[in-house]
């Protein structure tokens, strides 16, 4: 009930209505196109998760360091097969993660799935509408508690502050699947679109003092995943290119700005009977023009890497260990230049963030699980807001957190 009382929309009603109208239009177009209907074509699934999180020494979740119940995730999705070629599907979620991302409901995806071609080795699908990012190892399930490896994902890759931008886009995406008895399984994804940023999203990214509007111009991504035939190994590679701009208001402290973001990433995954190993390495180039004044320019290349292992102890219990490193600027790994260039106003530990995580998952019943984990963190570069960080609360180089979350899905 408390959650319902706090329920706020993080996307505008206009956006919701837009998605609904588009889906309804798609529905009628595809009904007309289709040759046959499937009366058993409806599927509905969902999840609900609630937890407690306690962060000591940073503003990752809240500013006062108190034990927090801001670890709520609820989602429901539906899928309807219109005919042999078209399917419509969508998922809405409600999230409350404190400072990690904007609290409220979102449309994770709402799309038309067009089966372009398929035979016994090839599948080609086009997705039109709001689609999820499927290009990273855990990007498509990062907000699905029972389908991700930990409560808090590696922030070097799955930074919660970028969650709503990185989760998906409005536009067009494509999936190409090829299965070879000789070379293994290949999955290719392509996407092009943009996300809507509202005022809260912009403040989360840039800082509480901004008054202007932010807009994502485009987000283009591509990836390939390869699993050799009958192998427990999988290897992936992805690229991303995205531009944003900030438009000041007349009474703004800040100036118009353009932000550009390019990312290269590769991953591996080993899935054995009891042991699982995975890792991702990511290089991100960030360019900024404007914002502090019209002439302000900044370019930096950040690097993040994590290695993760999981051990299935028995049918109920699995254990997790992970080590992660992230440098916001690979030419300034200890953040000393950051501190120097800002006249000491931003401490050096805002230039990196390293995390050691241990955790456990226990299956309490079918479709009901509890996860618990502890993080030891050094550095604060993956906290919100990003461009103008909160140095008042984050006055320590080392901080830690633990979390417990119960989850049910259907």
Partner 1 sequence: MQVITHASVNVESMTTSQLRRIYSIRQLRWENSTPIVVFVLPSKHIIHKNFSKNILNIFPYKLDRIWNKLTFSGLGVAPTVVQSQEELLKAVSNTPGAIGYVDNLNKETDVNVIKISI
Beta-bridged to residue 109, according to DSSP, are 91
Residue 15, SS3?
Answer: helix
Residue 120: CB minimum distance to partner 1, A: 5
* φ, ψ at 255 (rounded to 5°): -115, 165
The DSSP line for 48-110 is: EEEEEEEEESS-SS-SS---B---EEEEEEEEEE-SSSEEEEEEEEEEE-GGGS--EEEEEEE
Which among 106, 214, 224 has a CA at the least distance from the CA of 170? 106
Residue 118: CB minimum distance to partner 1, A: 6
- Cβ nearer to partner 1, comparing 177 with 303: 177
Residue 153, SS3?
Answer: coil
Distance set, CA 345 to CA 99, 306, 328, 332, 394 (Å):
22, 29, 17, 16, 12
CB 45 within 8 A of CB 77: yes
- Cβ nearer to partner 1, comparing 146 with 213: 146
C-alpha span between 337 and 351 (Å, rounded): 9
- Cβ nearer to partner 1, comparing 87 with 100: 87
- Cβ nearer to partner 1, comparing 80 with 286: 80
State in Å, rounded, how far the first CA of the chain is from the last one.
21
Residue 79: CB minimum distance to partner 1, A: 6
- Are β-strands 257-271 and 317-327 bridged in parallel, bridged antiparallel, or unpaired? unpaired
- Cβ nearer to partner 1, comparing 183 with 253: 183
Residue 132: CB minimum distance to partner 1, A: 5
- Cβ nearer to partner 1, comparing 110 with 383: 110
Residue 163, SS3?
Answer: helix
- Cβ nearer to partner 1, comparing 227 with 348: 227
Place of tokens 């919100």: 384
Residue 40: CB minimum distance to partner 1, A: 8
Residue 64: CB minimum distance to partner 1, A: 33
- Cβ nearer to partner 1, comparing 177 with 356: 177
CB 370 within 8 A of CB 405: yes
Residue 266: CB minimum distance to partner 1, A: 19
- Cβ nearer to partner 1, comparing 104 with 232: 232
Beta-bridged to residue 368, according to DSSP, are 365, 408
Q: Residues in the site for partner 1, rule: CB under 8 A? A: 38, 40, 43, 45, 47, 75, 77, 79, 81, 84, 87, 89-91, 108-109, 111, 113, 115, 118-121, 123, 125, 127, 131-132, 134, 140-141, 144, 146-147, 175, 177, 179, 181, 185, 229-230, 271-273, 312, 315, 366
Output the CA angle 99-100-104, nearest 5 degrees: 85
Residue 121: CB minimum distance to partner 1, A: 8
Distance set, CA 231 to CA 134, 190, 226, 228, 277 (Å):
22, 25, 10, 5, 14
Residue 208: CB minimum distance to partner 1, A: 33
C-alpha span between 293 and 248 (Å, rounded): 11
- Cβ nearer to partner 1, comparing 64 with 366: 366
- Tokens at 21, concatenated: 């109208």
Residue 134: CB minimum distance to partner 1, A: 6
C-alpha span between 45 and 172 (Å, rounded): 24
Residue 139: CB minimum distance to partner 1, A: 9
């Amino acid at each position: 009930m408390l959650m319902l009382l706090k329920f706020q929309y993080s996307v505008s009603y206009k956006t919701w209505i837009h998605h609904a109208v588009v889906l309804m239009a798609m529905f009628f177009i595809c009904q007309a196109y289709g040759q046959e209907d499937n009366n058993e074509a409806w599927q509905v699934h969902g999840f609900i998760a609630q937890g407690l999180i306690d962060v000591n020494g940073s503003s990752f979740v809240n500013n006062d360091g108190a034990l927090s119940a801001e670890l709520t995730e609820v989602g429901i999705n539906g899928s309807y097969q219109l005919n042999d070629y078209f399917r419509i599907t969508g998922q809405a979620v409600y999230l409350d993660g404190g400072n990690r991302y904007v609290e409220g409901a979102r449309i994770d995806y709402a799309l038309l799935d067009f089966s372009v071609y398929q035979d016994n080795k090839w599948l080609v699908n086009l997705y039109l509408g709001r689609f999820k990012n499927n290009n990273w190892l855990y990007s498509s399930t990062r907000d699905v508690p029972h389908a991700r490896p930990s409560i808090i994902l590696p922030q070097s890759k799955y930074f919660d502050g970028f969650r709503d931008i990185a989760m998906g886009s409005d536009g067009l995406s494509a999936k190409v699947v090829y299965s070879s008895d000789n070379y293994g399984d290949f999955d290719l994804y392509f996407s092009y679109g943009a996300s809507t940023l509202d005022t809260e999203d912009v403040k989360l990214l840039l800082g509480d003092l901004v008054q202007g509007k932010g807009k994502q111009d485009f987000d283009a991504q591509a990836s390939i995943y390869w699993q050799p035939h009958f192998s427990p190994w999988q290897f992936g590679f992805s690229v991303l290119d995205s531009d944003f701009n900030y438009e000041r208001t007349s009474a703004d402290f800040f100036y118009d700005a353009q932000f550009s973001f390019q990312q290269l990433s590769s991953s591996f995954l080993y899935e054995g009977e009891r042991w699982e190993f995975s890792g991702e390495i990511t290089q991100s180039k960030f360019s900024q023009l404007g914002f502090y004044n019209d002439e302000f320019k900044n370019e930096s290349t950040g690097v993040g890497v994590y290695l993760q292992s999981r051990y299935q102890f028995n049918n109920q219990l699995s254990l997790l260990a992970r080590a992660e490193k992230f440098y916001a600027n690979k030419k300034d790994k200890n953040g000393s230049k950051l501190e120097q260039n800002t006249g000491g106003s931003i401490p050096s530990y805002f230039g990196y963030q390293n995390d050691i995580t241990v955790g456990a998952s226990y299956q309490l019943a079918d479709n009901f699980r509890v996860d618990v984990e502890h993080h030891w963190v050094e550095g604060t570069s993956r906290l919100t807001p990003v461009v103008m960080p909160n140095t008042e609360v984050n006055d320590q180089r080392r901080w830690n957190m633990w979390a417990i979350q119960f989850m049910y899905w259907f």
